Structure 1
Amino acid sequence: MKDIALPEALAGAHARLEHALHEAGRPLDAAALLAVSKTQPAARLRQAYQAGQRAFGENYLQEALDKQVALADLDDIIWHFIGPLQSNKTRAVAEHFDWVHSVDRLKIARRLSEQRPAGLAPLNICLQVNVSREDSKAGVAPEALVELARATHQLANVRLRGVMAIPAPADTLAAQRQPLAELRTCLATLQKALPDAPLDTLSMGMSSDLEAAVQEGATLVRLGTAIFGPRRQA
């Protein structure tokens, strides 16, 4: 299948986001697009960069590291790691990414802090919350979130920025909004519990539920298909 034209697709994604923000009564700059670029070749990321995209989300570590080498001349790319994170991956993530969205254990947060190179700014972290309470999904339980956040906030080389979730798919806007509303509540709870933490990020919403996420206050929406087209096989 022929690749979609990236500039047009990216412009369409921005227009969709702006329309959703307008419909929600929110400022048009209240949420940003994170281009989910897993399985996409570096050349496609370069095209998106040339069309104005700067933030890219990667799920697979080695694939991401290879792209970072290929795109090393683009020094203002912001790299987000959004995939499952095991202990044996933390060093490379701490060394090569600006954000991590998938922290759900203190062990992982602690390793990221300890392994963050001294010359880099603190690593921005979102805590992944299992708002749908699915046994197959990663994420801290909502009732355990404050304890994890308090401990993470004490770490020297990470900066706790917010929460992330990947809810179970739902067919209606109302059903999509329900778990996203819970994530919004989770962030509000953390903001109250940790008033000195820079908790400003709700990482939620994908190509299938962007409108629901914006209605519930998303500040960072993770779009892959809407920008790059159908996912390639990894």
Structure 2
Amino acid sequence: MTEVLLTETFAAARSRLEAALSDAGRAPQAAALLAVSKTKPALMIREAHGLGQRQFGENYLQEALDKQAELADLDDIVWHFIGPLQSNKTRQVAEHFDWVHSVDREKIARRLAEQRPADRPPLNVCLQVNISEEASKAGVAPEALDVLAEGILAMPGLRLRGLMAIPAPSADPAQQRLAFARLREALEALQARFPEAELDTLSMGMSDDLEAAIAEGATLVRLGTALFGARPRPTT
């Protein structure tokens, strides 16, 4: 993708976000785009940075580490790890990322807390919630959120910021909103139980359901293809 096309896609996405916030009666700065840059080259991230984008989401650890090394001169990039997180990946995630969106069990959280370098700010954490209760999907069950959140709030090195979910896909805006509303209500319940915590983040919504997510209070919307174009098909 050329810089001209990248300029167009980012402008279109920002206009769409602005319109969705306006339609929802929310402030223009109430939500931000998280640019999902997995499988895209570091050069494209550099171009997006030149267009003012600062927050980037990566799913694959080694790919992300390679890009971070190549883009080390851009010291204001905020790196979000949004992929599945296994125990053997926690140290490098704790050392090299600013946010993690996919924490769904205490063991992973404890490893991140223990492995976060002392000279870095606390790692921002979102709990991944299986909001549609799909057997095939990762995430903590909604009814188990309180216990997990309470444990993480006591861990030095971590800062619990909110919730993330990937609901079951639906083309029906009403169904999309129902799922996002459940996540918002779960966050509101945590805010009421832990009023001292900085629980201000709802990471939800992608290209096909951005408007529904914004209507239900999303603060970070994860866009990939809409910004960077189609990803290459995996080779066999």
Aligned residues of 2:164 and 2:202 also touching (Cα < 8 A): yes
Matches within 5 A, 1:77-226: 77-226=77-226
Q: Decide whether aligned partners of structure 1 residues 101 and 19 sit closer, same or farther in structure 2, where only a CA change above 3 A counts.
A: same
Output the aligned Cα RMSD: 1.2
Partner of 1:44: 44
Question: Which AA in structure 2 matches 1:85?
Answer: L
Moved over 6 A (4+): 1-4
Distance 2:189 2:110 in 1: 22
Distance 1:213 1:181 in 2: 8
Aligned residues of 1:34 and 1:220 also touching (Cα < 8 A): yes
Question: Which AA in structure 2 matches 1:124?
Answer: N
Question: Which AA in structure 2 matches 1:225?
Answer: T
Aligned residues of 1:86 and 1:108 also touching (Cα < 8 A): yes
Question: Which AA in structure 2 matches 1:158?
Answer: L
Please report how far the alpha carbon of residue 2 of structure 1 lies from its aligned counterpart in structure 2 after TM superposition.
7.7
Question: Aligned to 2:57, what secondary structure does the other structure show?
Answer: strand
Normalised TM-score (structure 2): 0.97
Question: Aligned to 1:5, what secondary structure does the other structure show?
Answer: helix
Distance 1:192 1:127 in 2: 17
Paired residues, number: 234
List runs of 5+ in structure 2 lacking aligned partners: none
Partner of 2:26: 26
Aligned residues of 1:4 and 1:229 also touching (Cα < 8 A): no
Please report how far the alpha carbon of residue 170 of structure 1 lies from its aligned counterpart in structure 2 after TM superposition.
0.2
Distance 1:107 1:29 in 2: 35
Question: Aligned to 2:162, what secondary structure does the other structure show?
Answer: strand
Deviations 1:13-58 (A, max 9, x none): 1100000000001111100000000000111111100111000000
Please report how far the alpha carbon of residue 90 of structure 1 lies from its aligned counterpart in structure 2 after TM superposition.
0.2
Please report how far the alpha carbon of residue 216 of structure 1 lies from its aligned counterpart in structure 2 after TM superposition.
0.3
Aligned residues of 1:3 and 1:229 also touching (Cα < 8 A): no
Please report how far the alpha carbon of residue 233 of structure 1 lies from its aligned counterpart in structure 2 after TM superposition.
3.8
Question: Which AA in structure 1 matches 2:150?
Answer: R
Normalised TM-score (structure 1): 0.98
Question: Aligned to 1:171, what secondary structure does the other structure show?
Answer: coil
List runs of 5+ in structure 1 lacking aligned partners: none
Aligned residues of 1:41 and 1:67 also touching (Cα < 8 A): yes
Distance 2:124 2:74 in 1: 20
Please report how far the alpha carbon of residue 156 of structure 1 lies from its aligned counterpart in structure 2 after TM superposition.
0.5
Question: Which AA in structure 1 matches 2:220?
Answer: L
Question: Aligned to 2:14, what secondary structure does the other structure show?
Answer: helix
Question: Which AA in structure 2 matches 1:135?
Answer: A
Please report how far the alpha carbon of residue 226 of structure 1 lies from its aligned counterpart in structure 2 after TM superposition.
1.1
Aligned residues of 2:3 and 2:47 also touching (Cα < 8 A): no
Distance 1:173 1:4 in 2: 32
Distance 2:31 2:17 in 1: 8
